[in-house]
């Protein structure tokens, strides 16, 4: 078996391409169900954020992951295939483990040390569990990732200063305008959008509007914030006359504000309008930037803003990487402990030692002439008891363990080997 990772990220793929390779919840679950029907794939997780789309796959060594995912994406979203083929990269083995731990710790984020990525990794894992695509190995792998991410944030100052795209967007807005005299519209009612609204309020925003497809969800956000009014998405372009700032963060598949819908409204604006679109795919039609009174920024434009805080965090990276190395090595040791040879060797060695010790303990009851016979009897009895478990572990015949054998090896380790070491 082998761990595979195929992904595209902000490192080498611009936002206008990443938005073409974005999938909704229904599409991700469909892909996971399709992967479940392939005999070569044992486990899989799809991690999707505004800065990455990543497929973690545990499958047979001979599995052609690149070819499989290209075809899978073609079935689910044909228009994404060309971008995926051009920008996706593959890694395997412990490189996948180390990468996941770095992602969970925020080391691979656009804003180093940001906190939101850890909850996104947890959500991706939960989605996989719901689709029955996380089993023995991924249960261990992703829970190790959660612990690694927490340890880095606890034991370093990797998340000092601005720690999210949401905060970077608000800081950009603060640089461009006086928020204390501004009215802002936040489009979206999810976690990221609510963070934006909280940061705006903290920055002294005068008036706030929360726009969302579900007005009830928008109202729930305003109640939690104790500020602002809720509105739907109908006539969103016309609402641009009421605000000075728009920050948008939804999971919509298409732009919520198009140039055609907003052109006439924006043409008559006398005051400048600042729009910061941090959604992928983008919520705001890029053509809106053609309007004279509009300044439009997208998620990639936040790099400069993010860079200000990144310098302070870079000093913590060596310490964070040392923690990641420790977690990666521990996971590698655990993985190696599940190999057929060391498990069988450990079981046999412990069994024989147990037999000999017990034979010596009772040898005096059988006389000196029978002590060796007693020892041989004990060894043969142990060998017979272990014959079934060892045969089960050897069943594949190629030195590798399938999912059920991994479970058995872990259980045997806990029952016989680890316990013995502790004793």
Q: Give the CATH number of the domain where residue 276 resides.
A: 3.40.50.720
* Residue 21 maps to a domain: yes
Residue 42's closest CA among 1, 72, 91? 1
Give me the mean pLDDT over the 361-379 stretch: 86
Q: How confident is the model at residue 415 (pLDDT cuts 50, 70, 90)?
A: low
- Lowest-confidence region among 71-80, 315-324, 382-391: 382-391
Is 50 annotated as catalytic? yes
pLDDT at 400: 54
pLDDT at 340: 64
pLDDT digits (tens, 9 = 90+) for 85-117: 999 999 999 999 999 999 999 999 887 888 889
Looking at the fold, whether 47 and 136 belong to one and the same domain comes out as: yes
334, pLDDT greater than 60? yes
Q: Give the CATH number of the domain where residue 134 resides.
A: 3.30.460.30
Looking at the fold, whether 143 and 248 belong to one and the same domain comes out as: no
Looking at the fold, whether 145 and 170 belong to one and the same domain comes out as: no
Are 407 and 399 within 8 A, CB to CB? no
Residue 398 neighbours by CB distance under 10 Å: 8
Q: What percent of the chain has pLDDT over 90?
A: 61
Candidate list 13, 50, 65, 144, residue with the active-site label: 50
Query: What is the H or E stretch that residue 116 is in?
Result: helix 116-130
Determine the Cα–Cα distance for residues 186 and 328; give it in Å rounded to an integer. 40
Residue 271 in 3-state DSSP?
A: coil
Looking at the fold, whether 40 and 147 belong to one and the same domain comes out as: yes
Sole residue written with tokens 């005068």: 206
pLDDT digits (tens, 9 = 90+) for 6-19: 999 999 999 989 98
Edge-to-edge order in the sheet of strand 2-9: 41-49, 52-59, 2-9, 89-92
Q: How confident is the model at residue 388 (pLDDT cuts 50, 70, 90)?
A: confident
pLDDT digits (tens, 9 = 90+) for 138-190: 999 999 999 999 999 999 988 776 557 888 899 899 999 999 999 999 999 99
Looking at the fold, whether 213 and 177 belong to one and the same domain comes out as: yes
Determine the Cα–Cα distance for residues 287 and 411; give it in Å rounded to an integer. 59
Are 93 and 2 within 8 A, CB to CB? yes
* Residue 106 maps to a domain: yes
pLDDT at 183: 97
pLDDT at 379: 85
Q: What percent of the chain has pLDDT over 70?
A: 91
Looking at the fold, whether 188 and 254 belong to one and the same domain comes out as: yes
Looking at the fold, whether 169 and 133 belong to one and the same domain comes out as: no
pLDDT at 369: 82
333 exposure class (CB count in 10 Å sphere: 0-12, 13-18, 19+): exposed
Determine the Cα–Cα distance for residues 123 and 420; give it in Å rounded to an integer. 37
What's the total number of domains in the chain? 3
pLDDT at 410: 67
* Residue 270 maps to a domain: yes
Looking at the fold, whether 269 and 354 belong to one and the same domain comes out as: no
Rounded to the nearest integer, the mean pLDDT of the chain is 89
Domain limit, last residue, from 155, 190, 220: 155
Looking at the fold, whether 147 and 171 belong to one and the same domain comes out as: no
pLDDT digits (tens, 9 = 90+) for 206-225: 999 999 999 999 999 999 99
Verdict on whether the full-model pTM lies above 0.75: no
- Lowest-confidence region among 2-6, 22-26, 93-97, 416-420: 416-420
* Residue 327 maps to a domain: no
Determine the Cα–Cα distance for residues 170 and 305; give it in Å rounded to an integer. 10
pLDDT at 370: 86
392, pLDDT greater than 80? no
pLDDT digits (tens, 9 = 90+) for 37-80: 999 999 999 999 989 999 999 999 999 999 999 999 999 999 99
Sole residue written with tokens 């706030």: 208
Range(s) of the domain holding residue 17:
2-155
* Residue 328 maps to a domain: no
pLDDT at 28: 96
423, pLDDT greater than 80? no
Looking at the fold, whether 301 and 194 belong to one and the same domain comes out as: yes
pLDDT at 278: 94
Looking at the fold, whether 52 and 177 belong to one and the same domain comes out as: no
Looking at the fold, whether 136 and 172 belong to one and the same domain comes out as: no
pLDDT at 276: 97
Sole residue written with tokens 């363990």: 401
């Amino acid at each position: 078996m082998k761990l595979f990772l195929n992904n595209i990220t902000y490192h080498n793929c611009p936002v206008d391409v990443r938005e073409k390779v974005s999938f909704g919840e229904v599409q991700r679950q469909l892909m996971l169900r399709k992967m479940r029907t392939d005999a070569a794939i044992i486990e899989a997780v799809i991690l999707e954020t505004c800065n990455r789309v990543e497929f973690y796959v545990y499958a047979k060594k001979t599995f052609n992951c690149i070819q499989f995912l290209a075809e899978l994406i073609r079935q689910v979203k044909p228009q994404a295939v060309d971008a995926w083929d051009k920008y996706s990269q593959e890694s395997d083995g412990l490189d996948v483990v180390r990468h996941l731990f770095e992602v969970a710790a925020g080391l691979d984020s656009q804003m180093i040390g940001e906190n939101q990525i850890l909850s996104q990794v947890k959500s991706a894992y939960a989605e996989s569990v719901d689709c029955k695509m996380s089993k023995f190995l991924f249960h261990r792998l992703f829970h190790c990732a959660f612990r690694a991410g927490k340890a880095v944030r606890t034991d370093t100052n990797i998340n000092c200063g601005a720690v999210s795209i949401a905060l970077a967007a608000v800081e950009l807005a603060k640089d461009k305008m006086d928020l204390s005299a501004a009215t802002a519209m936040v489009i979206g009612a999810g976690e990221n959008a609510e963070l934006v609204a909280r940061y705006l309020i903290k920055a002294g925003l005068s008036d706030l509007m929360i726009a969302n497809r579900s007005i009830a969800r928008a109202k729930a956000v305003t109640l939690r914030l104790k500020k602002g009014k809720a509105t739907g998405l109908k006539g969103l372009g016309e609402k641009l006359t009421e605000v000075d700032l728009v920050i948008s963060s939804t999971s919509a598949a298409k732009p919520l504000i198009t140039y055609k819908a907003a052109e006439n409204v924006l043409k008559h604006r006398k005051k400048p309008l600042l729009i910061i679109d941090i959604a992928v795919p983008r919520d705001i039609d890029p053509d809106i930037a053609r309007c004279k009174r509009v300044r439009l920024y997208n998620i990639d434009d936040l790099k400069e803003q993010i860079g200000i805080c990144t310098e302070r965090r870079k000093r913590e990276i060596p310490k964070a990487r040392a923690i990641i190395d420790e977690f990666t090595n521990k996971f590698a040791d655990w993985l190696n402990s599940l190999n057929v040879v060391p498990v069988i060797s450990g079981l046999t060695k412990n069994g024989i030692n147990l037999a000999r010790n017990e034979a010596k303990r009772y040898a005096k009851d059988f006389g000196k002439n029978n002590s060796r016979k007693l020892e041989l009897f004990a060894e043969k009895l142990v060998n017979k008891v272990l014959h079934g478990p060892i045969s089960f572990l050897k069943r594949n015949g190629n030195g590798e363990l399938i999912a059920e054998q991994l479970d058995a090896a872990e259980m045997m380790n806990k029952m016989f080997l680890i316990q013995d070491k502790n004793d």
